Structure 1
Amino acid sequence: MIQELKQYYGSLFEPELLEEINGVATFMEVPKEHDLMKPGQYIKSMPLLLSGSIKIMRPDVNRDELLLYHLERGDTCAMTMTCCTGNTKSEIHAVTETASKLLMIPVSNKEEWYSKYKTWRNFVFASYHNLMMDLLESVDNIAFNNLDERLENYLQDKIQILNSKHIYKPHKEIAADLHTIRVVISRLLKEMENNKTIVLHRSFVEVL
């Protein structure tokens, strides 16, 4: 575990902090579509993502979910840190989008390192800043972009996250991520195929 820590976080944290993380963190290796956090849970630890991708979603009163942002390698979840600090229940749903490896750090260490290590403090501030930028981008997408533009942005994000132009997601799941219905997404994807920006295959979308 220490080698992965040095590989992915060595440029962020000093060796002493890496050693402390290695000593207290719990390593987790989880499959695709695994629930890491559900609304209503109390958070006792925070994640450091070593590999993979995690979707952070916000449920509404009808139990539909809106995709807020993704976590990728080298990230942590600022919303989780907020729940840790305030000892409040989670209001988000975190699900692995791909098979992932992560470290879970106890809340007590998060607070201790905040005053002990400047690099950790900078990392926490950067995480909050990234959270704000991601949320603003989500708001802009919903408020100012048409659904076809949101779909294009969604597909481009998936290319970067999955490092592939083949997106293996059913239309129903894409619709859920964009807070709409499957028939609308299917129609928009068909229009994109007619415009020769994508090719629809039986089990995946190929972005040209």
Structure 2
Amino acid sequence: MKEALQTTFGNLFEQELIDEINDVGKLLELPTGEKIMEIGKYIRSIPLLLSGAIKVLREDEDGDELLLYYLEQGETCSVTTACCLGQTKSEIMAVTETPSELIMIPAQKMEEWMGKYHGWRKFIMESYHNRMNELLQTVDNIAFKNLDQRLVDYLKKKSEIANDTYLQSTHQEIAMDLHTSRVVVSRLLKKLEKMGKLELHRNHIKIVDL
């Protein structure tokens, strides 16, 4: 674990901090679709992502979801850190988008390290800044972009994260992430296929020219 920590965070954290994370952190190797945070639950640990990707979602009272942003290698979830500091229940859900390797840090260490390590403090503050920008982008997309463009942006991002032009996503899964209906998503995907932008197959979508 220490070698992976050094590779991913060595340019951000002091060596003493790397050593502490190695001592107190718990390494998890998770498959795609694994839920690591749930709405309404207290958060006892903070994730540091060594590899893979995690999608962070909101859920309404009817169980419908909306994709907020992705966490990628070398990142953490600022909503999680905020819940830890405030000792409040989680208002987001986090699910692995791809097979992922992460280190879970005990929540009590976050505040301790904020005062102890400049590297950790800078990392957490930059994480807040980056997540806020991504949340503003999500709001802008919903407010100012039509669903056609939101779908294209979504597919591009998924392809980028997976590093693959073949996406193993059902129409229903896409609809849930975009907070719309499966029928609408299927219609828009068919439209993109007719435009030569992608190919629809039984179990996957192939990106051609988005």
TM class, shorter-chain normalised?
over 0.9
- Report percent identity of matched pairs: 53
Within the alignment, does 1:142 sit opposite 2:142 as a pair?
yes
Task: Kindly report which structure 2 residues correspond to 1:30-179, keeping only aligned pairs within 5 A, or say none.
Answer: 30-179=30-179
Task: Kindly report which structure 2 residues correspond to 1:6-45, keeping only aligned pairs within 5 A, or say none.
Answer: 6-45=6-45
CA positional deviation for 1:90: 0.5
CA positional deviation for 1:98: 1.3
Describe the superposition over 1:89-111 as per-residue Cα deviations: whole angstroms up to 9, x where unpaired.
01111111111111011122111
CA positional deviation for 1:59: 0.6
TM-score by length of 1: 0.98
Which residue is equivalent to 1:197? 197
SS of corresponding position for 1:71 = strand
CA positional deviation for 1:9: 0.6
Q: Which amino acid aligns with 1:190?
A: K
Q: Which amino acid aligns with 2:125?
A: F
Q: What are structure 2's unaligned runs of at least 5 residues?
A: none
CA positional deviation for 1:115: 0.7
C-alpha distance in structure 2 between counterparts of 1:25 and 1:167, whole Å:
32
Q: CA RMSD in A?
A: 0.7
Which residue is equivalent to 2:3? 3
Q: Which amino acid aligns with 2:39?
A: P
SS of corresponding position for 1:128 = helix
C-alpha distance in structure 2 between counterparts of 1:205 and 1:51, whole Å:
24
SS of corresponding position for 1:12 = coil
SS of corresponding position for 1:91 = coil
Which residue is equivalent to 1:206? 206
SS of corresponding position for 1:190 = helix
Q: What are structure 1's unaligned runs of at least 5 residues?
A: none
C-alpha distance in structure 2 between counterparts of 1:166 and 1:142, whole Å:
26
Q: Which amino acid aligns with 1:201?
A: H
